[in-house]
């Protein structure tokens, strides 16, 4: 092989080697680039998932303090609730609202108007209305006390305690009571927890309306309101106007009525500012604790209820 041929062969080998080296380098760069991209995507995905999980947890927590995202219960605030959870505008005549009926007595005649406690949406109240119908043997209708989360609900409780601000449930209940009395019909109310406080405030509004708008004397107001029967269960109200026929149920293990309501069976320094209403009957019992259902309506309080006429005679 001549010197020229050897030179050509050497140049050819060098070219092949250089090309292979470049190709390997390009492949390495490509692989490295893909690795970086994949790593960035994985890191980005983990960050996004982390925020999504945090957001989901935040939505859950928000449901405790304020209305959960997308919650719609506020639109039912102060609405009248009938069978199946149907809602009706305030002012709808009660005889035009289909009531929940007892499973064992679909032809029941007497009607109860029930106001629920905090943290209870419309569907939750509907379940309570059916349970109340089954336990009492009466037809039941509801005034909905809407929930916006526990803390917001508790703020509303404080306002109702002080008689400040407006509460659609109070307004609807007061208007309903007043309208029924003016029509010459008796009224039977049931209030549970905050619903008892709503009931107390509504009754006070009715009494004030009779005095101011109708010019009634205190005695006349009491006589007119004697056509109202009231039952409360674990109620947060400490005072009630005279006139209605009251039966209050208080679990001594339940802090809602014992601290914020009419008090427990024992003596309390706060008793001088409490008033269960003239002639009220109070049934005290002691069951469970606050961590095991002491404040429960359907699984605790309603188990102790007796027919209203018997309760008014003190036969619990």
Domain with 228 in it: what CATH number? 3.40.50
Statement: residue 80 has pLDDT above 60: yes
Rounded average pLDDT over 93-115: 97
Mean pLDDT of 129-156: 96
The domain total for the chain is 2
> Is residue 24 predicted with pLDDT exceeding 50?
no
Do the Cβ atoms of 248 and 192 come closer than 8 Å?
A: no
* Last residue of one domain, picked from the residues 65, 88, 108: 65
Q: Please tell me whether residues 113 and 224 are part of one structural domain.
A: yes
**pLDDT > 70 fraction of the chain, expressed in percent and rounded:** 78
Q: Give the span between the Cα atoms of 177 and 87, in whole angstroms.
A: 18
Span 173-202, mean pLDDT? 98
Last residue of a domain, one of 31, 65, 99: 65
Which pLDDT band holds residue 70 (cuts at 50, 70, 90)? low
- Comparing 19 with 153, the larger pLDDT belongs to 153
- Please check the confidence at residue 30 and state whether its pLDDT lies above 70: no
Enclosing domain of residue 10:
1-65
DSSP lists the bridge partners of residue 282 as 248
Measured CA to CA, the distance from residue 286 to residue 49 in angstroms comes to 49
SS3 117: coil
Tell me, yes or no, whether 47 and 188 share the same domain. Answer: no
Q: Which residue has the higher pLDDT, 49 or 222?
A: 222
For residue 257, what is the DSSP state?
I
* Same domain membership, residue 291 and residue 190: yes
In angstroms, rounded to a whole number, what is the distance separating the alpha carbons of residues 27 and 146?
65
Q: Are residues 16 and 61 in the same domain?
A: yes
Q: Tell me, yes or no, whether 124 and 98 share the same domain.
A: yes
pLDDT at 294 over 60: yes
DSSP state of 239: B
Q: Report the 10 Å Cβ neighbour count for 35.
A: 10
Please report the pLDDT score of residue 54 as a whole number: 31
Question: What burial class does residue 239 get, using C-beta atoms within 10 Å of its C-beta: 0-12 exposed, 13-18 middle, 19+ buried?
Answer: middle
- 148 and 246 in a single domain? The answer is yes
Please give the average per-residue pLDDT across 40-56, as a whole number. 33
Q: Which two tokens stand for residue 306?
A: 């007796």
Both 182 and 255 in one domain: the answer is yes
Residue 3: other Cβ atoms inside 10 A: 7
- Note the pLDDT of residue 72: 86
The CA distance from 307 to 316, in Å, is: 9
Between residues 311 and 8, the one the model is more confident about? 311
- Decide if 199 contacts 173 (C-beta within 8 A): yes
According to the model, what pLDDT value does residue 65 have?
53
Rounded to two decimals, the pTM is 0.79
List strand residue ranges (DSSP E) for 202-251, in order. 228-233, 245-251
DSSP tag of 262? S
Residue 126 CA to residue 162 CA, distance in Å, equals 29
């Amino acid at each position: 092989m001549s010197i020229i041929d050897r030179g050509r062969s050497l140049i050819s080998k060098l070219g092949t080697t250089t090309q292979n080296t470049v190709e390997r380098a390009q492949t390495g760069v490509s692989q490295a680039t893909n690795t970086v991209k994949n790593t960035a995507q994985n890191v980005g995905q983990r960050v996004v998932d982390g925020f999504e999980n945090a957001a989901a947890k935040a939505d859950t927590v928000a449901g405790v303090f304020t209305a959960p995202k997308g919650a719609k219960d506020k639109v039912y605030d102060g609405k009248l609730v009938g069978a199946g959870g149907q809602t009706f505008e305030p002012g709808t005549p009660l005889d035009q609202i289909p009531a929940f009926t007892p499973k064992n007595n679909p032809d029941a005649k007497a009607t109860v108007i029930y106001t629920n406690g905090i943290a209870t949406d419309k569907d939750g109240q509907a379940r309570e209305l059916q349970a109340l119908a089954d336990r009492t043997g009466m037809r039941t209708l509801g005034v909905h006390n809407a929930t916006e989360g526990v803390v917001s609900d508790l703020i509303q409780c404080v306002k109702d305690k002080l008689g400040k601000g407006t509460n659609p449930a109070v307004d609807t209940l007061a208007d309903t009571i007043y309208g029924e009395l003016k029509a010459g019909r008796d009224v039977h109310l049931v209030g549970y927890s905050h619903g008892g406080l709503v009931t107390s405030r509504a009754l006070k509004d009715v009494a004030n309306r009779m005095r101011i708008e109708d010019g009634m004397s205190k005695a006349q107001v009491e006589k007119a309101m004697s056509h109202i029967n009231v039952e409360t269960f674990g109620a947060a109200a400490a005072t009630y106007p005279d006139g209605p026929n009251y039966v209050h149920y208080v679990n001594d293990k339940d802090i809602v009525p014992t601290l914020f309501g009419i008090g427990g069976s024992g003596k309390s320094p706060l008793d001088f500012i409490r008033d269960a209403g003239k002639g009220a009957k109070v049934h005290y019992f002691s069951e469970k604790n606050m961590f095991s259902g002491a404040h429960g309506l359907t699984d605790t309080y309603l188990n102790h209820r007796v027919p209203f006429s018997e309760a008014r005679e003190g036969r619990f």
